[in-house]
Structure 1
Amino acid sequence: MRQLGMKKERNRMEKAQSRKREPFRIYRASITVEAALLYPILIFLLMFLLQKTITYYQQTDQAAQGIISVEEPDTSKMFWKIVLAQRVTEEIKEKAGLQEDNVYEN
């Protein structure tokens, strides 16, 4: 009888030990499930941020290329064009016999 009592006690102890291990198995499984749900979200978030960063970089690069491609005006060239236009205008007026002072007077 004593052996029978020991077997029962051993079975009871094994059940108690298996109950102690079960919560850890459950927690490990829940962590795995949470990770399986969380990692794709994190990956998509990183992809979104990378895409936005690349887009902003491309826009900035295009703006910089636009600024570089604009030529700085050649002021001396513009000055001589204006002077030449004034001289031509004066010569035409002289040939036409017009005087600047009394053109508008009646």
Structure 2
Amino acid sequence: MAVFKRGKLWCYRVNFKNADGAYVRKNGSGFRTKKEAQLAEGEVKQSLNKGFNLSAGDELFTDFFQEWFDLYRKGKRALKMIKTSSQPLLSLKSTSLE
């Protein structure tokens, strides 16, 4: 975990173990002052201490939405709401990215 200067801008680097036990490095750069980089590094450390998964940004939105929907919304609304809410998700999954 370090704050350092690269050229004219400040950067930070945080190393941690993810849930699988593999080491992961989180970098941030483009800060004008050392203090800004230290504050950003502190926010990342706080997120890690609270148990946030910093690698979750690699997940596709459709997968995230499906997981959220199954966990929080399914069974809490009428069947009509479930059909209308999940229909756009199904169409997103069927389209290919070009």
Q: TM-score range by the shorter chain?
A: under 0.3
Between Structure 1 and Structure 2, which shows a larger proportion of strand residues? 2
Between Structure 1 and Structure 2, which shows a larger proportion of helix residues? 1
Please report the TM-score for the alignment, with normalisation by the length of structure 2.
0.25
Larger radius of gyration: 1
Please report the TM-score for the alignment, with normalisation by the length of structure 1.
0.23
